[in-house]
Amino acid sequence: MGALIRRAHAQPAGAVIADGLRLDEARQAVISGDRTIALSGMEFRLLRYFMLHPGQVLSKSHLAEHVYDDDSDRDSNVIEVHISHLRIKIGAALIKTRRGQGYVFGASG
């Protein structure tokens, strides 16, 4: 799935960079300054999708469509839980909630 996203957005492997973060696809981690932060599989996929769509409002259902491989847990609050974990790891200011709309990634979002 990652290869499909890379091709769709013309991003070479390992070159996803946004808002001071750089994804390390080989280690499934994010690098912020000199700090490497390990991510779960879902956190990594969510953050990667956010970083490929900075400033865009992404609904929970839209995110679920693009980060889940199957239909499991798409309608539960699992996305919200993973976003909460991401906020703890990378800073709450980078992922903002737009009430009734979804989430926006980026310092200016």
Phi, psi of 55 (to 5 degrees): 80, -5
pLDDT in tens, 41-69: 999 999 999 999 999 999 998 998 888 76
**pTM listed for this prediction:** 0.81
Phi, psi of 92 (to 5 degrees): -65, -25
pLDDT of residue 75: 61
Q: What's the total number of domains in the chain?
A: 1
Radius of gyration of the chain (CA): 13
pLDDT in tens, 71-104: 555 566 889 999 999 999 999 999 999 999 999 9
CATH number, domain containing residue 63 = 1.10.10.10
Strands 102-105 and 17-18: unpaired
- Between CA 79 and CA 60 the distance in angstroms is 7
Residue span of the structural domain in which 37 resides = 2-105
